[in-house]
Amino acid sequence: MSRLHVPVPLRWADLDAYGHVNNVAVLRLLEEARIAVFWRHPEAVDPGAWPTAVLDAGPGASTHTLVARQEIEYLLPLAYRREPVTVEMWIGRLGGASIEVCYQLVTDLEGERTVYAQAITTLVLLDAASGRPRRLSEAERAVWSPHLAPPLTMRRRRDGG
């Protein structure tokens, strides 16, 4: 099973005046999962690092990641809960200088899996010095390839849209 399971805690401030996690806040949760999985942090003590975390993090790093595109479907309203939700992540496509990250935001209570949202993000790797796209390295492909799986099929996309 190639999906990565990333626990992401909600925050009270993710709720809006309807009492549900705001639609924009859902993308914040996916961002947190993506950063946990792909980025290596400079602090020495980092026992929780994912094997997939091969990008240097932060403003001083040699690679920047640019979010080029996002697509998200909201399937069920998400209420506040103390336990983290789970972001299931996989890679839908490894391109020349880009990655397509697929996500499903789920809870799994007593064996019942519920999907609240699903999304795709296209990330472009940039050389930080030049600001131009740079190709994925062989090392990056080696680490990420085991997590390749068919991309999400969105339910609500229309041809004209």
CB-count burial class (<10 Å; 0-12, 13-18, 19+) for 43: exposed
Q: Binding to a copy of itself (CB under 8 A): which residues in 81-120?
A: 81-83, 92-93, 100, 109-110, 120
Paired residues of 48 in beta bridges? none
Minimum gap (Å) between residue 27 Cβ and a copy of itself: 5
134-153 residues in contact with a copy of itself (CB under 8 A) are 151
Smallest separation, CB 36 to a copy of itself (Å) = 7
* Spatial contact of 35 and 121, defined as CB atoms under 8 Å apart: no
Instruction: Give the HSE-up count for residue 29: Cα atoms under 13 Å, Cβ half-sphere.
Output: 32
Contact 104, 117 (CB under 8 A): yes
Residues that bind a copy of itself (CB under 8 A): 9, 11-13, 15-19, 22-24, 27-28, 31-32, 35-36, 41, 43, 45-49, 57-59, 64, 66-74, 77, 79-83, 92-93, 100, 109-110, 120, 122, 151, 154, 156-157, 160-161
